[in-house]
Chain A
């Protein structure tokens, strides 16, 4: 039995004070958090500390900002970062597609479970499977182009992954296809939790499909949309390595057209044996991702405050 419990037993408080008196002290929370915190410190903080230290060294000697200077002036790193930024353009596409499909699903009565399963399916597939299969489907003489030619749509056939002008966007399309299921599930859950009365009232007032969702659904979904936008932005900045590695055989090609920051880090560390440069690039990527995480928490807090305010 803890001291806190004993205090409550010995000296009963007036009803109005009971709640505050039973609140555990700060040490109590710390005790519960301690095991997880210890693991996090051991696994992440120490590694991060070593990473940062390494980024300022070369052959165990302190070299100040040298590694960062080399990395940020490296045209390949800047190209990689630019590609990550370009992939951010997939985020609004993801939001629009996921939102549209979630709304359509919410209004679908027959077979909605089946359709939900179909749309969520790509999200649970391993990236390796997606990369290998789509990599084959999208070759110049592959099934996709063969089908397009067969349907008389040959002008839309392209060297999807072999043309440097479109390879990054093909990659973006694959990422959207795989990631959209997550957005659909999030948005659908939110839509199904919205009160039905508002929609019934709007219907009585003659509101159509678009009007209902534009004026009723969307305003109530800003929190979950913001959450999805930030998490997908993090994906585009620091979670696309698998796609690029699998679909381009680790080359980021053709040319440099699909090189992303994670691939730059991987190649620096494990192909070119330049651990220090990889560390510097990883620190930069970490800071960018941290920035996005901070935005996420701010949005989440704002959203929570709005809910509490209601």
Chain B
């Protein structure tokens, strides 16, 4: 009977949660333009205000928390009536927790979003206000990737914060040299490297796809190489092209080749991304891929600039995006139900003042998303290489497909191809099939993506 009660309780809780979400998700059905609340003209409050901020912490930019704490202290000193409280979110909890907060209208004034679709979708759902309603166009023009990733129908939906060069490949030159190899710049060289190292039991490149996220990285690292712009991806999403077209689907075959040449660590399917990277730090794999903001620290841990080189994924195509590191900006948005939008926007603007941009670089070693940051001060070769890529406005393709397609097609099929359970062609076909399914299950998808594509 205890189990029956548990089962009944589960159903009840699920029902209650869904009912609460359904009744509370009015925001989910509100059009973006109806986000309401204060406007750009709203004056700053003079009475006590508490701003609540949910963000991702140090996960890809170690030092970010220390920097934010100092920035909050500085801002509160300048604005004694304002208190800012921060809450850290996990990777898996970032989106669901925001959705739960939106459904319950939990007090929240500043929310961290990854760029592109991850910032767009909450706005389409009516859960964020356009940041351009509160920060001037002149100011936003300095924010890196704002136009490319975060614009929708003439507005900027979320404010870029720091740049995520997406994603650098780290190469252990010493390990390659010990095995008579040089850094592979082309796909053919890369596969030859795999053949040589796998014969000696050394994985060429370390990765983990159990948690899925690395699959999205691989989509961008390999899938972008045969494209000319993000518009091609958006066209495939709305049905004007197919993910099986050579330009959009051939990368799956390259992935299959990498599996057949035993490029990856054998346990890639049972390792999480960050677990698997340890193989590179331990000098047991010649290459890995890591988050851009963390790459300088990661390279230092693995041996420093003398031993480690940072590069783009070896090129398999001669497309304009091949051999380049893409650029994406992580952002801060303002929830549509926030009662302190003007104050939240003012704090976000404060984070882009010259002192804060410099402090960000000093504390994290990564690139702030603002073209007013003085790049000439960067002398470290790894950072220079990364920041050059980060400033190029090369689109990061994973940010231009529906998040659901990412998890239901990309994450899934990357796992299957890397396990050898599926061919590249079958994976491309499944991605197209999943896209067609999503156009049915997400009844606003085509409209939203068509609107987004029209601004690209």
Contacts and interface: CB of A to CB of B under 8 A. Distances in A.
A interacts with B: yes
Interface of A: 43-44, 46-51, 54, 57-60, 70, 73-76, 138-142, 159-165, 182, 227, 231-232, 234-235, 238-239, 248-251, 253-256, 262, 265, 267, 269-279, 282, 285-286, 289, 293, 296
Contact of B11 (A46, A182, A289): A289
Nearest to A142: B270
Interface of B: 1-4, 6-8, 10-12, 14-23, 25-26, 28-29, 92, 95-96, 99-100, 121, 125, 209-212, 266-272, 403-404, 407-408, 411-413, 415-416, 419, 421-422, 437, 440-443
30 contacts: A44-B8, A47-B12, A47-B20, A48-B11, A48-B19, A54-B18, A58-B443, A73-B440, A74-B441, A139-B267, A159-B269, A162-B269, A164-B419, A164-B421, A227-B1, A239-B6, A248-B210, A254-B416, A254-B421, A255-B412, A262-B14, A269-B17, A273-B121, A273-B125, A274-B441, A274-B442, A275-B18, A278-B18, A282-B18, A289-B7
A114 to B, nearest CB: 24
Contact of A271 (B8, B95, B269, B413): B95
Contacts of B16: 43-44, 47
Contact of B18 (A46, A161, A256, A279): A279
Which of B1, B11, B21, B437 has the most chain A CB atoms inside 10 A of its CB?
A: B11
A238 B412 CA distance: 23
If over half of B's interface residues share one DSSP class (helix, strand or loop), that class is named, otherwise mixed; here it is helix
Contacts of A277: 441
A255 B415 contact: yes
A273 B210 contact: no
Contact of B419 (A227, A254, A282): A254
A161 B412 contact: no
A271 B3 CA distance: 28
A271 B404 CA distance: 8
Contacts of A138: 270
Contacts of B407: 251, 267, 271
Contact of B22 (A227, A272, A275): A275
A276 B209 CA distance: 30
Contact of A50 (B19, B95, B266, B271): B19
If over half of A's interface residues share one DSSP class (helix, strand or loop), that class is named, otherwise mixed; here it is helix
A126 to B, nearest CB: 14
A282 B422 CA distance: 31
A140 B266 contact: yes
Q: List 7 A-B pairs, minimum CB-CB distance, nearest first.
A: A162-B269, A50-B19, A231-B3, A140-B267, A162-B270, A249-B211, A47-B16
Which of B18, B407, B441 has the most chain A CB atoms inside 10 A of its CB?
A: B18
Contacts of B12: 43-44, 47-48
Given A163-B419, A164-B421, A270-B96, A139 B403 contact: no
Contact of B212 (A160, A249, A269, A270): A249
B22 A162 contact: no
A270 B3 CA distance: 26
Contacts of B421: 163-165, 254-255
B15 A48 contact: yes
A204 B404 CA distance: 68
A13 B2 CA distance: 42
A42 to B, nearest CB: 10
Given A253-B212, A271-B95, 19 more contacts: A46-B19, A48-B11, A140-B266, A161-B210, A239-B6, A251-B210, A251-B211, A254-B209, A254-B412, A255-B416, A256-B412, A270-B99, A271-B403, A271-B404, A272-B403, A273-B99, A276-B22, A277-B441, A286-B15
Contacts of A48: 11-12, 15, 19
Contact of B415 (A254, A265, A271): A254
Contacts of B1: 227, 231
Contacts of A73: 440
Contacts of A286: 11, 15
Contact of A60 (B29, B121, B210, B413): B29
A76 B413 CA distance: 14
A140 B23 CA distance: 45
A270 B100 contact: yes
A240 B200 CA distance: 42
A111 B224 CA distance: 64
Contacts of B212: 249, 251, 253
Contacts of B443: 58
A73 to B, nearest CB: 8
B19 A162 contact: no
Contacts of B23: 50
Given A141-B267, A251-B211, A253-B212, A75 B437 contact: yes
Contacts of A161: 210, 269-270
Given A248-B210, A274-B442, A235 B7 contact: yes
Which of A60, A262, A272 has the most chain B CB atoms inside 10 A of its CB?
A: A272
B102 to A, nearest CB: 9
Nearest to A161: B270
A260 to B, nearest CB: 13
Which of A255, A256, A265 has the most chain B CB atoms inside 10 A of its CB?
A: A255
A293 B22 contact: no
A56 to B, nearest CB: 11
Contacts of A182: 3
Nearest to A140: B267
Which of B4, B29, B99 has the most chain A CB atoms inside 10 A of its CB?
A: B4
A239 B7 CA distance: 7
Nearest to A164: B421
A234 B416 contact: no
Contacts of B15: 44, 47-48, 50-51, 282, 286
B270 A140 contact: yes
A253 B214 CA distance: 13
Contact of B10 (A165, A238, A271): A238
Given A139-B271, A140-B267, A54 B408 contact: no
B421 to A, nearest CB: 5
Nearest to B421: A164
Nearest to A283: B15
Contact of A293 (B4, B271, B411): B4
B416 A164 contact: yes
B21 A275 contact: yes
Contacts of A250: 92
